Amino acid sequence: MRELRAAAPADTLKEAGSVEPSESGGGDSALRASGRRALAAWPLLPAFIFLGIAFVYPVALLLGTSFVDSSGELSTVHYTRLYDSRVVSRVLTITFEIAAWTTVFSVIAAYPVAYLLSTVRGSTRNTLIIWVLMPFWTSFLVRTFAWMVLLGRNGAVNQFLDILGIVDPPTFIYNFSGVMIGMVHALMPLCVLTMLSVMESIDHNLSRAASTLGARPGQAFWRVYFPLSVPGVAAGALLVFITALGFFITPALLGSERETVIVQLIIFQIKDMLNWGFAGAIAVFLLIVALIIFFIYDRLVGLSTLSGGSARAETNAKSNFIGWVGRRLGGLFIEVMARGSDLIGQGMERAFPQRPDKPRRKGGRAAIWATALLVIVFLAVPAFFIIPVSFTEAQFLSWPPRGFSLQWYESVLSNPVWVEAGLRSLLIAISAGGLGMLFGVPAAFYIARKARFKTAMIGFLVSPIIMPNIIIAVSLFYLYARLGLVGTDLGLVIGHTVLAVPYVVVTMIAVLKHYDERLDHAAYTLGANKARTFVHVTFPLMRAGMVAAFMFAFIISFDELTIALFVTGGQVTTLPKKMWDDALLQVSPTLAAVAAMVLVFMTIVILVSELVRRRGVQVQ
């Protein structure tokens, strides 16, 4: 990250400006300092207390059963079995492999999209964002079945290839590529939005300055822009990776027999064996391995890049070996990419000399547009499939749709259960999103700016995503049974907020990396109090990040199934749960109709809110 600081002196200054209490010092003053520090940590309290009660306590009770045998005595029997099992370690490896490849593909595909979005005009940008968000609004169940119909043996893609005369088309699904298509499609929007919220705060004048100083576009991008965007890449990759660890329906439906993931083993033990001890042991194992990987990742890319600590101390090989290696590797990567793109640029200039009287060509720009549009089409494909299929006369999801019929819409709208489920899901998602922000945002501010033990804190705050949902769901049922919360909307909101907080925290930390605190200080100097500063200075600058964070929290709740299956006790229903129940025998076009309505509804909401916002800006 040498390049980063060289390119962004403002950042360095900002870091130098924030003074931390000294580590050394006499006993008394150290005590007082640590007391002050504890008091100053209040922004962490809401998140930590909430997760302590609604996540750590109930889950610890369940995981505790992994340390006792069937007669209730303390025992390591489950862990011995874990150690002996050849299947568990193999499946865990597969799980991490799938998550890692999903992350790699998501990051690579999302980057040009986020870059394009951060550089185009407002209205174009908003139109494109609507397309990027498409996967969010198509329920995971419908989406997965859409891929089955699109990419299957007699699917739309093969029909098309057949017309082109390609007789022996490749197999897209029921293998590793099927899993990748399904998972990258579902998770890439996370990456795009996280990166976008960071890229929006990058000052494009820095790249221009590099060009003025003679750098070719490739050099300017790799040496100036890219390092500045790394916090977004790091945060997006982290979110995709840990979310991917919990995916099991996509690998089950689109993968081969070898794509068995760890959550499936846990579900088998929980449901088929009622052996919660062994399920707990697997979950503990998963959590530990995931946190170790998180720790190494943090050192490698530097959570410091995530949370703005990098400029404080030059890392050296001794104090943080992994970090040092990461820096060297990162530096090398940037060097290679910068030189490589420069060579290509030189070659291009030789081959097609630039005439000084013509305006500079914008070949790179066109390439970015093309790549980004390709990715966006990929993201929007299932939506294009779902809408026509929802008007089909056939009883199944199939391509091409047959005839025209409104029967599926009729059957949804005439059934009060569907309408009620939709409204409930909407309200719960808004509440969980709001609560997630309430708990997550202050914690993110504190962690990004002041906290020590950042790695441990972020590790703790993301553990609800790593912990398989079924473990959280069963645990919450026991807690709720005692509190009388089974079957209540409040219970659902709490459960979903547990999952929402991590997304808010990680997204906000990434955005805060670039936030210049001196702007706040300037406001204070001019007489604004903390609240006014937040409303008029901090919030407007953080808006993109906040919107992204809320969006993640919202969608996590809106699409969540496992917790809803448990804590509702079946007494009330959410949209994903109703869809799941409905898909017992078949996934019918009814579900396509529901998905299409959600899609249209959400798009309208986004358009209207955008319109209102623009009005507001004009009035001001």
Partner 1 sequence: MTKQTKVKFVHRTSRRQFLMASGAGIAVLGLSGTMGSRAFASGQQLVVADPGGPFTDAFGEAFYRPFEEATGHEIRNIAREHQPTSQVRAIVETESYSWDVVIVTQADQVLLDGLGYLEELDWSGEHMDNIMPEARTPVWMGTDVYATVLCYRSDTYGEQGPQSWADFWDVERFPGRRALRRSPIDTLEIALLADGVSPDELYPLDIDRALAKLDEIRPHISVWWTGGAQTSQLLQTGEVDMLPTWNGRAQTVIDSGGPAAIQWNQGLYSIEGWAIPKGNPKADAGREFIRFCADPQRQAAYTDLLAYGPTNLKAYDFISEERARFLPTAPDNLEKMILANQDWWGEHKDDAEERFNEWLLS
Residue 23 or 257 having the CB closest to partner 1: 257
Alpha-carbon distance values, 86 to 82, 83, 89, 527, 548 (Å)? 8, 8, 6, 65, 41
**Nearer to partner 1 (CB atom), residue 298 or residue 559:** 559
Instruction: Name the minimum Å distance from CB 99 to partner 1.
Output: 17
What are the CA-CA distances from residue 568 to residues 378, 429, 434, 474, 489 (Å)?
35, 15, 21, 11, 8
Residue 271 or 361 having the CB closest to partner 1 = 271
Contact predicate 230/4, CB 8 Å? yes
Closest separation between CB of residue 68 and partner 1, Å?
Answer: 6
Residue 342, token pair as written in the block: 């420069």
Say which DSSP state 237 is in.
H
- 364 vs 487 by CB, closer to partner 1: 487
- CB of 441 within 8 A of CB of 504? yes
Three-state SS for 68? strand
Q: Which two tokens stand for residue 242?
A: 């840990």
Q: Mapping DSSP to helix (H, G, I), strand (E, B) and coil, where does residue 256 land? A: coil
- Nearest distance from residue 104's CB to partner 1, in Å? 23
Write down the least CB distance from residue 282 to partner 1, Å.
Answer: 13
Residue 503 or residue 580: which is nearer to partner 1 going by CB?
A: 580
Which DSSP string corresponds to 164-209? TT--SPPP-SSSHHHHHHHHHHHHHHHHHHHHHHHHTTS-HHHHHH
Nearest distance, CB of residue 563 and partner 1, angstroms: 12
Can you tell me whether residue 74 is helix, strand or coil? strand
Instruction: Kindly give the residue spans of alpha helices, DSSP state H, lying in 308-415.
Output: 321-351, 363-389, 407-413
Residue (253 or 381) nearer to partner 1, CB: 253
Minimum separation from the CB atom of position 486 to partner 1 (A): 5
Would you say 86 or 358 has its CB closer to partner 1? Answer: 86
**By the criterion CB under 8 A, which residues form the site for partner 1?**
61-62, 64-65, 68-72, 85-87, 90-91, 94, 145, 148-149, 152-155, 174, 252-253, 256-258, 260, 265, 268, 270-277, 394-398, 474, 477-478, 481-484, 486-487, 565-566, 569-571, 573, 577, 581-587
Smallest separation (angstroms) from partner 1 to the CB of 475:
9
Name the residue nearer to partner 1 (CB basis): 364 or 569: 569
CA distance linking residue 118 with residue 102, whole number of Å: 23
Shortest distance (Å) from residue 139 CB to partner 1:
13
Shortest distance, position 578 Cβ to partner 1, whole Å: 8
Cis before 382 (ω within 30): no
The neighbour count for residue 282, using CB atoms within 10 Å, is 27
Q: Report how far residue 433's alpha carbon sits from residue 550's, in angstroms, rounded to the nearest whole number.
A: 6
| Letter string b/e over residues 554-564, b meaning 16 or more CB atoms within 10 A of that residue's CB | bbbbbbbbbbb
Residue 42 or 83 having the CB closest to partner 1: 83
